[in-house]
Chains A and B, each alone.
Chain A
């Protein structure tokens, strides 16, 4: 339990209405979107409205040695926001202003509680876009997605969150405030702390402001769907598209289990016996898009697609994407629990990874559907299960283990975009050995020696 005086001090800084202490409220901060994870409620939830208030909260926490768990919308999939040691949940949602749009430098300055879509809506008014688009664009905060370095559908052409973060204001574990980076494209002054804090999952400092890069919105786009009766052919088609120097904005894949589920769900006209479908979208200037879409169509045919569909208008495009957008909902409705992984491999290894996942599913007698961002090698093997079935959950954990091993054996990584949190920290040495884990630890301890910020995530304290 938290000492009374801690709560009193917090109230003094933030005002009573921004400090939640009742059990009924605390319980709703005991979880995030991560499946099958033990929940834990915090002792207090606070919602600051300024960098100064955040700094004060950190100082109070330091004085009393209480852990702080930063939280955006709580949609991460790795247990990043669960306050596993109790203490303070620091909700960033009231820091929700877009502070500036700079059309000359093509940047926006935003607070961490801004929802990604809100930034995009604002950017659209200026003919600009902020490309990172995780499946949660309409809910996730800028602070949360920067802290997870979220990816999304457009990673292949446009990169991921880290490619758009130019400057950060950070409250350090000692309560001091630093600003790093800025509006300049070039900046080599000191270590690149902006890069370090992007994807740090709130374990190194608290982001209270960020300068992000915006780019001009593409003039137009076009979608092409290819149906394959063989996984290797689909894999070759992915490689062939890139080899022909076409970089689609999105290049998505769905495997047979996903196709079957989606088809029963939305009746988008996908052949039930297809081994894989590829969904490709090119964007840019009209002329380029025309040329590239014709090329993609031809490549898909050449690589042995049994069927190729090109969307002729927005309606047809929406229909094609309906299938892809329905993948997760359709799967999620089959069983009560959905374990969504994000093992990522080099693009060329996609067919191998899909086969490995299928073998694992057979071995453990589990329903695993795989879909994902084929263009950047980021797959989402999705295990459909039920947390109430203990025996099955044991097999789920073993399967997840093997998926990680499989991805790393293929030269891939544990997590492409969902982060490590608590869910994957035990596997870190698998990817970069003990020396790597020690290096992580050294960085953590240099910036947060008392393990105050999001303790129990990424780095374990001995």
Chain B
């Protein structure tokens, strides 16, 4: 039985925990609050008390289960191999089943509000931007701050909405002359609405490597924001919709440039739909050919090194939790960066430490999220670099907001953007 359907499904996982407390050493939340409920051991105990009937799933419980960035650092540091990522999903799904969406209504509500804001913004364009977001002058990025508080504070810096979403800007099939492969690109919401520059870089790099890119119009949200907050019903619907859209156009492989999208296609769709007669095999099939863009460019189709031009950047790389611990991808982005002429890679202290974004976590716990981010930004500023590379648009948003608020001169980019920049420089040079 999947973790999305019953708390019982994690019984064995809970029993594995020997309460050693090792998870305290790495938990970003515990580090800030120093309260046991923040750390995996605390939430595991709560889940145990609920299962044994000693405690009930109250609203208060649900609130405690929201105290987790799902960064998986505890998984990695656990001597007993406890998969806390599964436990937290099951606990949150149980909370939703027992209490309806109520315990996480704040999350759902805010997320909904955000979604509507986006759509509204998409239609009204710059008018909306002027009303809700205050533009910040910045040398390279279009950033804004909330003018009024919609429950997430006005501190957070947001990228301005793109004039046009990526998927309406680009054709559904981007052709190349002699395609050696046809690859489907799952954009995810953030790249589609905010960071179209990442999406364009993905397409640029793939076509540069003679790969035809399909961007199914029918794709939607990956559903991770829903599934991690226990809204299994919505998550399943989104999974089916995406599978249908990609199956219709077909491709040799699927790439993503965000860690949630990768997690969704590689693991979550399969788990959500394991008992779905129609979709389970489809989910498995696509899972086997899904790649993060950096993984794809290193292992599947090694990107061509000739034509790489010089890019003068001092870069430090932040590991997105769900790319690094979730998918085991940490060498690949560094390998890409190191192969770009002119790029100097300088590691920060604890590059794998969570940035505190964690999707809706930063909306529900803005203060905690900022505290976690502050540590990250301090580590970044120590590197004396001018660019932070990362592999996920959500991390990019958090880091961008962090460097902006700290007033340090650092450009935040996706690894693939720097690679695209290098190909561009190569072309200029050869002309």
Partner-B contacts on A (CB < 8 A): 20, 22-25, 27-35, 47, 73-75, 91, 93-94, 96, 113, 115, 117, 136, 138-139, 328-329, 332-333, 336-338, 386, 388
**Contacting pair A333 B80 (CB below 8 A):** yes
Chain B's closest residue to A34 (CB) is B19
| Structural contact, B24 and A32, CB atoms closer than 8 A | no
Looking across the interface, which residue of chain A has its beta carbon closest to that of B79? A329
Q: Taking A24-B60, A28-B36 as contacts, is the C-beta distance between A333 and B20 under 8 angstroms? A: no
Docked-complex contact B21 and A33, CB < 8 angstroms: yes
A35 CA to B19 CA, complexed, in Å? 8
Give, as a whole number of angstroms, the nearest-CB distance from B189 to chain A: 32
Cβ–Cβ contact A93 & B34, under 8 A:
yes
Known: A27-B45, A74-B36, A94-B34. A332 touches B18 (CB 8 A): yes
A329 touches B80 (CB 8 A): yes
Q: Decide yes or no whether B275 CB sits under 8 A from chain A.
A: no
Q: Are A139 and B19 in contact (CB under 8 A)?
A: no
* Given A22-B60, A388-B15, A332-B46 contact (CB < 8 Å): no
Q: Are B60 and A23 in contact (CB under 8 A)?
A: yes
Interface size bucket, B side? 20 to 34
Q: Is the CB of B34 within 8 A of A27?
A: no
Q: Which A residues are CB-close (under 8 A) to B34?
A: 47, 91, 93-94, 96, 113
**Chain A residues with CB under 8 A of B15:** 336-337, 386, 388
Cα distance A329–B17 in the bound complex, in angstroms? 11
Interface residues of B in 17-41 (CB under 8 A from A): 18-22, 24-25, 34-37, 41
Whether a CB of chain A sits under 8 angstroms from the CB of B42 is yes
10 nearest interchain CB pairs? A329-B79, A28-B42, A138-B25, A28-B36, A336-B15, A93-B34, A75-B21, A24-B60, A139-B24, A332-B80
Inter-chain contact A33/B20, CB cutoff 8 Å: yes
Chain B residues whose C-beta falls within 8 Å of the C-beta of A22 in the assembled complex: 60
- Indicate whether A29 sits within 8 Å of B25 (C-beta atoms), given known contacts A22-B60, A24-B46, A332-B80: no
Having A24-B55, A28-B37, A91-B34, one finds 12 other A-B pairs with CB under 8 Å, namely A24-B61, A24-B63, A25-B36, A32-B21, A33-B21, A34-B19, A73-B24, A93-B34, A329-B80, A332-B20, A338-B80, A386-B15
C-alpha spacing A162/B60, complex, angstroms: 42
Chain B residues lying within 8 Å of A25, measured Cβ to Cβ, are 35-37, 64
CB <8 Å contact, B36 and A33: no
Chain B residue with Cβ nearest A96: B34
Q: With a CB–CB cut-off of 8 A, which chain B residues contact A386?
A: 15
Instruction: Tell me if B81 counts as interface (CB < 8 A to partner A).
Output: yes
Q: What's the least CB distance linking B23 to chain A, in Å?
A: 8
Tell me whether A33 and B19 are in contact (CB under 8 A).
Answer: yes
CA distance A138 to B80 in the complex (A): 17
Given contacts A47-B34, A94-B34, contact A24 B58 (CB under 8 A): yes
Residue of A94, A138, A139, A336 contacting most chain B CB atoms (<10 Å): A139
| Distance in Å: Cβ of A50 to nearest Cβ of chain B | 16
Give the docked Cα–Cα distance between A138 and B39 (Å). Answer: 14
Determine whether B49 belongs to the interface, using a CB cutoff of 8 Å to chain A.
yes
Known contacts A328-B79, A329-B79, A336-B16; decide if A28 and B46 are in contact (CB<8 Å).
yes
By a CB distance below 8 angstroms, the chain A residues around B12 are 336
Is B55's CB under 8 angstroms from A27's CB? yes
- The interface residues of chain B lying within 8 Å CB-to-CB of A23 are 55, 58, 60
Within the complex, what minimum Cβ distance (angstroms) separates B53 from chain A?
Answer: 13
How many angstroms from the CA of A35 to the CA of B15 in the assembled complex? 11
Contact string against A for B residues 257-287, beta-carbon threshold 8 Å, 1 for contact and 0 otherwise: 0000000000000000000000000000000
CA distance A64 to B72 in the complex (A): 43
On chain A, the residues within 8 Å of B49 by CB distance are: 27
Give 22 A-B contacts (CB < 8 Å), ordered by A residue. Answer: A25-B36, A28-B35, A28-B37, A28-B42, A29-B36, A31-B19, A32-B21, A74-B21, A91-B35, A96-B34, A115-B25, A117-B25, A136-B20, A139-B24, A329-B80, A332-B20, A332-B79, A333-B16, A333-B79, A337-B15, A337-B18, A338-B18
Specify which chain A residues have a CB less than 8 angstroms from the CB of B21 in the assembled complex: 32-33, 73-75, 136, 139
Q: How far is the CA of A439 from the CA of B34 in the complex (A)?
A: 37
A40 to B209, CA, bound (A): 62
Question: Who on chain B is nearest to A113 by CB?
Answer: B34
How far does the alpha carbon of A20 sit from the alpha carbon of B359 in the complex, in Å?
28
Q: Please, which residues of chain B bring their CB within 8 A of the CB of A33?
A: 18-21
Partner of A31 from the list B24, B45, B55, B80 (CB cut-off 8 Å) is B45
Nearest opposing residue in chain A for B31, CB measure: A115
Interface contact A28-B19, CB-CB below 8 Å: no
Identity of the chain A residue whose Cβ is nearest the Cβ of B78 in the assembled complex: A329
Across the interface, name the chain B residue whose C-beta is closest to A337. B18
Specify the chain B residue showing the minimal Cβ separation from A117: B25
Interface contact A27-B46, CB-CB below 8 Å: yes
